[in-house]
Structure 1
């Protein structure tokens, strides 16, 4: 009898509010520093056109951890405890635990920075809940402010590094990898706080960046075609004409992303120094992106490219080579991908697809990938982004020529009608009936 190869372990690493960093390396003049993401990408598959299914934490995380689209699960907007709508047993880690995996939590992945309720945690995980102190708890007397949106707070001394959530999260998985001796394969979560606001970091990460070198892209000079619906429902929260405040704010965000990248490097080194290095699938993602001042917004909650597009990296130790995939994919593809790698049954009711073929250098048919926010929805397909808002208004952009989406191509564009049809069909596939919503009073 031929023995089966052992199943891979899985480590899922989640950033919070991280932009698709490869797009921002030099876009603001001052180079964004992500050395650990860069070295991981040098031996992994980077999905550079990955999209969240919701531009806000809870519905996005509910989606990629269940494999269900927001309108399938009913979690379409902010929801303090979405497990009241979707059971723990609907999450794909439950299937891993049921199939013999040792499942271990570690920070914000499914929901919130606090530990999950005991009933939910015990259904999903094999170990005890973990509690980490938050960056927001750093006292004023050990910190200073660098200015910009939300103050630019920083801890003065390196001895205060252990106060940071991401430091604790990285320490936690390092201990886990050192101490795990069981024969069962494991699933381990690593949830990071960064680069979520208010962008508190150790001082040295603020000082990496010279704010005087930060400048606005030329594409911003002539302004942006706005949406009347968005102007009413997603207000401006920064005046980007206040150049000093804006560039300090960008400095704060970049420093927060670099700080979390630093702790990602610690996690990566711990994985690769462990006995599990050659048998552990590593997936890195973010729940959604963030506007960094364009459209006078330094926030999420929109359906434009800068919030919908997210980092997604898959490291298969059997394929430790650099690869970039530019075809659109969805965050809710993560669950089907894990199930495929582990030879487990597909998730029931989901519309995601395994990304394993693309990691293995296969081309797949072009697809449309949606992002939803309540009853508004956008779709990326090919070079275009089509957005339909809840009031029926639309925006249509050519991302190949206009990545910042400054100019709405409008309904007279020759591709508008076909993209509108693609949008409606894609939304229906993911559980949202555009025709029904338009017919509603």
Structure 2
């Protein structure tokens, strides 16, 4: 009997930081037991970067395999399907090659199901809608503990199933327990966590003691950046109220742990199923998140914390823990999946297949990986992050020595000219102007 083609499970978080870097950085231990155990049998890319630090453009990019300048999606108000046909998504290649394709939450931008004409092109099953965790009905027992998002929690365990992530996980369990088709499957699971306003069951807030959170001592010396970004990047969070900061970070951590909990449900269901040894799992998010540094609590910037994302690939044929520290791009998702399934590669993509890396081969330590937003662009290459804004001003940081990017290295730094040249070349390769 011919070997069956691999299945693919794609799991997407929303606004999730690169959790490895935050395990103890604020004192309190970040609790992600399910991500941790998955990483114990997977390849974890610790230097993966989004191509846009905003939900809609990032998802348009990594699901099409095209850069924001190719999709022309730069904000959340433009749907990728206004500029790119659904047949151009890499996942359509799976359906066209006989896969049973199933939706399950936010993977493309938006929490509502895709419009029927688009859904019917991309998926083989029915449209699914799950609750959006923006507000709670007054009839639901709840509490507020303050901080960014308000610290809202449900207090009655009977409401645990109320959440988007609970419903998305339950939908996957129903799918995996019932799927017995002859075709290999591609299944999406899109989680809401840890998107604001960070609503969770109260026990996830209780996982973290407020007094365990501490600002890094280095923050006291401030953050250097150029005049253009100082004037253009909006500050939205004050650091004068330490208690509010602690509550805000606790809210975000609790939302990460909530999403991790439901990821565990998905993982356990997959591994208990007949498909466990033949399903490739890809876990990612759309962009990172600032947690108070630079007076920012949110996304959208070109600094490391907003551009850096968790990216994990589990190949059941190689269940070993592997950490890759060389830079890779979210654009690599589609090329990697297609290559691992021995399907033809995407055209017009700057993304690369990471198949040989997942199979134990080397990554590329000299690769430059970009992130774009409306006011500029940045690359990560080697130990450095280089940013060029639309007015021509630049920022250079040594990420290896200065992860928070507090010391601005000027044009006289020995690495500046080489990084500026790498930035120009990278923008050309990614179909973007060098100034943006």
TM over 0.5: yes
Contact between 1:20 and 1:311, CA under 8 Å: does it hold in 2? yes
TM-score calculated relative to the size of structure 2: 0.98
- Which stretch of structure 1 is more off in the superposition, 26-35 or 80-89? 80-89
**1:375 CA displacement:** 4.9
Q: Distance in 2 between matches of 1:278 and 1:98?
A: 24
1:383 and 2:383 equivalent?
yes
Contact between 2:378 and 2:423, CA under 8 Å: does it hold in 1? yes
**1:130 CA displacement:** 0.2
The count of corresponding residues between Structure 1 and Structure 2 is 434
Contact between 1:288 and 1:307, CA under 8 Å: does it hold in 2? yes
**1:149 CA displacement:** 1.3
**1:200 equivalent in structure 2:** 199
Q: Distance in 2 between matches of 1:364 and 1:217?
A: 32
**1:356 CA displacement:** 1.0
**1:303 equivalent in structure 2:** 302
Contact between 2:50 and 2:329, CA under 8 Å: does it hold in 1? yes
- Within-5 A mapping of 1:283-432: 283-365=282-364, 366-432=366-432
Helix, strand or coil: the match of 2:171?
Answer: helix
Question: 1:352-407 CA distances to partner (integer Å, 9 max, x unpaired)?
Answer: 11111111111133200000012510000000000011221110000011000001
Q: Distance in 2 between matches of 1:194 and 1:99?
A: 32
Contact between 1:55 and 1:307, CA under 8 Å: does it hold in 2? yes
**1:25 CA displacement:** 0.2
Q: Distance in 2 between matches of 1:237 and 1:364?
A: 37
Helix, strand or coil: the match of 1:324?
Answer: strand
Contact between 1:283 and 1:313, CA under 8 Å: does it hold in 2? yes
Helix, strand or coil: the match of 1:339?
Answer: helix
Rate the CA distance shift 1:147–1:180 in 2: closer, same or farther, 3 A: same
Q: Distance in 2 between matches of 1:79 and 1:406?
A: 33
Q: Distance in 2 between matches of 1:361 and 1:327?
A: 14
Contact between 1:59 and 1:79, CA under 8 Å: does it hold in 2? no
Q: Distance in 2 between matches of 1:276 and 1:330?
A: 28
**1:175 CA displacement:** 0.3
Structure 1: which 5+ runs fail to align? none
User: Structure 1 stretches (4+) deviating beyond 6 angstroms?
Assistant: none
Of residues 38, 41, 60, the one that matches 1:40 is 38
**1:238 equivalent in structure 2:** 237
**2:122 equivalent in structure 1:** 124
**1:33 CA displacement:** 0.3
Q: Distance in 1 between matches of 2:78 and 2:239?
A: 31
Structure 2: which 5+ runs fail to align? none
Question: 1:97-128 CA distances to partner (integer Å, 9 max, x unpaired)?
Answer: 11100000000001111001111111100011
Q: Distance in 2 between matches of 1:193 and 1:133?
A: 9
Rate the CA distance shift 1:26–1:252 in 2: closer, same or farther, 3 A: same
Q: Distance in 2 between matches of 1:218 and 1:32?
A: 19
Contact between 2:332 and 2:353, CA under 8 Å: does it hold in 1? yes
- Which stretch of structure 1 is more off in the superposition, 259-268 or 130-139? 130-139
Contact between 1:427 and 1:434, CA under 8 Å: does it hold in 2? yes
- Which stretch of structure 1 is more off in the superposition, 387-396 or 290-299? 387-396
Contact between 1:47 and 1:324, CA under 8 Å: does it hold in 2? yes
**1:219 CA displacement:** 1.9
Q: Distance in 2 between matches of 1:9 and 1:345?
A: 17
Contact between 1:101 and 1:187, CA under 8 Å: does it hold in 2? yes
Question: 1:335-364 CA distances to partner (integer Å, 9 max, x unpaired)?
Answer: 001100111000011111111111111113
Q: Distance in 1 between matches of 2:195 and 2:110?
A: 12
Contact between 1:55 and 1:372, CA under 8 Å: does it hold in 2? yes
- Which stretch of structure 1 is more off in the superposition, 268-277 or 362-371? 362-371
**2:70 equivalent in structure 1:** 72
Helix, strand or coil: the match of 1:265?
Answer: helix
Question: 1:235-280 CA distances to partner (integer Å, 9 max, x unpaired)?
Answer: 1111012101101000000000000000000000000001100000
Q: Distance in 2 between matches of 1:229 and 1:196?
A: 28
TM-score calculated relative to the size of structure 1: 0.97
Of residues 96, 99, 115, the one that matches 1:98 is 96
Helix, strand or coil: the match of 2:290?
Answer: coil
Q: Distance in 2 between matches of 1:288 and 1:282?
A: 19
Q: Pairwise CA RMSD of aligned residues?
A: 1.1
**1:10 CA displacement:** 0.2
Q: Distance in 1 between matches of 2:336 and 2:115?
A: 27
Helix, strand or coil: the match of 1:395?
Answer: strand
**2:278 equivalent in structure 1:** 279
**1:219 equivalent in structure 2:** 218
Helix, strand or coil: the match of 1:136?
Answer: coil
Q: Distance in 1 between matches of 2:363 and 2:321?
A: 18
1:189 and 2:185 equivalent?
no
**1:230 CA displacement:** 2.7
Question: 1:49-81 CA distances to partner (integer Å, 9 max, x unpaired)?
Answer: 000000000110011101111112211333342
Rate the CA distance shift 1:79–1:4 in 2: closer, same or farther, 3 A: farther
